[in-house]
C-alpha cells in the first residue's frame, strides 16, 4: 500500500504545520475544532480544505492568519488571581529598594493579562512614577495583539475588578448596556506589545526579567516542547526571578532548574 500523501488528508497537513511552526499540538481529537475554526476563512477565500493546505505551503502571510484562527484567546482581567496576589505581596517589596522591574507576559492574548499586571503596579506602588517599570507583552496572534492595542473591553472581561480598581485602570467609554471600558493611558504606556512565536529559534529579547508570566499556553504543547520552552524561559530570569504558569499546567514531569514556591509559581536560583 502506498504511503498517503499529505494532501490526501489536508486537515492532518494543517495540524502538522501548526505543530511544526507554533508548537500547537492539536492531535487527531481536535480535527473538528480545526475544521470549525477555519470554516469561515475557507468561505472568504472560496476554497476547500485541500486548496487551503496547499496555500499555506506557499503563502507565509496566510500561515499567520491560520495560526491566529487556531489559537484560543479566552481570558479576562485578573484571571487566576493568586498569581497577582503573590506578585504584589512577595515580588514587588523585594524590588522596592532598586525601584526597577522588568516583566515579560509571554502569552498576552487580547491584553487583559499585561494590563492586569500594570494595574497591580499602579495600586501597589504609590511611588510608581519613581520606578523604572516595563512590561513586554508578546503573542503569536496578530489578531489578538490588535485587540490588545485597542485596549477596549466589554463589561464581562472586567467583571473581576472592584470599583476602586476600575477607577484606577479604566475609563468608561460606553454606558451600555453592556458597559465598555478603555485602559487608561498611564497603564497602556507601561506595556509594549509585540508579536513573537515562542517556537522561534531565536528571541529578540535578552532579559533578564524579574518576572515572566507564561500562563495557559503550554497546555497546547507536548512534553518535549514544554521542557524546551521552560528551560529557555528560566535562562531569561534574573537571579531570584519568578515564573508563573497556568494552574492547569504542571512542571513536575519535566526537567528544569527552577524552585517550586507554590502551585504554578517558580523561582530561579
Active-site choice (16, 37, 50, 123): 37
Q: Which residues contact 196 (CB under 8 A, 6 or more apart)?
A: 106, 138, 139, 140, 203, 204
Tell me, yes or no, if 57 is annotated catalytic. Answer: no
Look at residues 184, 87, 198 and name the one whose alpha carbon lies nearest to residue 138: 198
Separation CA 54–CA 58 (nearest Å): 7
Q: Given its phi and psi angles, is residue 113 left (phi above 0), alpha (psi -120 to 50 degrees) or beta?
A: alpha
Tell me, yes or no, if 48 is annotated catalytic. Answer: no
Residues in the chain: 269
Which cell goes with 254? 519535566
Q: Residue 257 half-sphere exposure, CB side, CA atoms within 13 Å?
A: 14
Separation CA 264–CA 94 (nearest Å): 20
Which cell goes with 138? 508578546
Active-site choice (139, 157, 215, 267): 139
CA 62 to chain centre: 21
User: Which run of H or of E encompasses 209?
Assistant: strand 209-214
Active site residues: 37, 139
Amino acid at each position: 500500500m502506498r504511503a498517503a500523501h499529505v494532501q490526501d488528508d489536508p486537515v492532518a497537513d494543517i495540524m502538522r504545520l501548526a505543530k511544526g511552526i507554533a508548537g500547537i499540538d492539536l492531535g487527531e481529537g481536535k480535527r473538528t475544532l480545526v475544521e470549525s475554526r477555519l470554516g469561515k476563512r475557507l468561505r472568504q477565500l472560496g476554497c476547500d480544505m485541500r486548496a487551503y493546505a496547499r496555500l499555506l505551503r506557499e503563502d507565509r502571510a496566510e500561515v499567520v492568519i491560520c495560526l491566529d484562527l487556531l489559537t484560543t484567546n479566552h481570558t479576562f482581567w485578573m484571571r487566576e488571581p493568586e498569581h497577582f496576589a503573590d506578585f504584589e505581596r512577595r515580588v514587588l517589596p523585594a524590588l522596592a529598594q532598586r525601584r526597577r522591574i522588568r516583566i515579560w507576559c509571554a502569552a498576552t492574548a487580547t491584553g487583559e493579562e499585561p494590563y492586569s499586571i500594570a494595574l497591580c503596579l499602579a495600586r501597589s506602588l504609590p511611588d510608581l512614577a519613581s520606578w523604572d517599570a516595563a512590561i513586554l507583552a508578546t503573542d503569536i496572534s496578530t489578531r489578538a495583539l490588535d485587540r490588545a492595542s485597542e485596549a477596549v473591553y466589554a463589561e464581562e472581561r472586567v467583571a473581576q475588578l472592584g470599583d476602586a480598581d476600575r477607577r484606577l485602570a479604566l475609563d468608561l467609554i460606553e454606558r451600555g448596556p453592556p458597559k465598555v471600558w478603555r485602559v487608561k493611558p498611564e497603564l497602556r504606556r507601561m506595556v509594549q506589545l509585540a508579536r513573537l512565536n515562542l517556537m522561534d529559534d531565536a528571541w529578540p529579547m535578552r532579559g533578564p526579567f524579574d518576572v515572566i508570566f507564561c500562563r495557559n499556553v503550554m497546555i497546547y504543547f507536548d512534553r518535549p516542547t514544554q521542557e524546551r520552552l521552560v528551560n529557555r524561559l528560566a535562562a531569561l530570569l534574573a537571579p531570584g526571578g519568578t515564573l508563573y504558569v497556568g494552574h492547569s499546567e504542571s512542571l513536575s514531569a519535566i526537567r528544569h532548574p527552577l524552585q517550586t514556591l507554590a502551585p504554578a509559581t517558580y523561582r530561579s536560583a
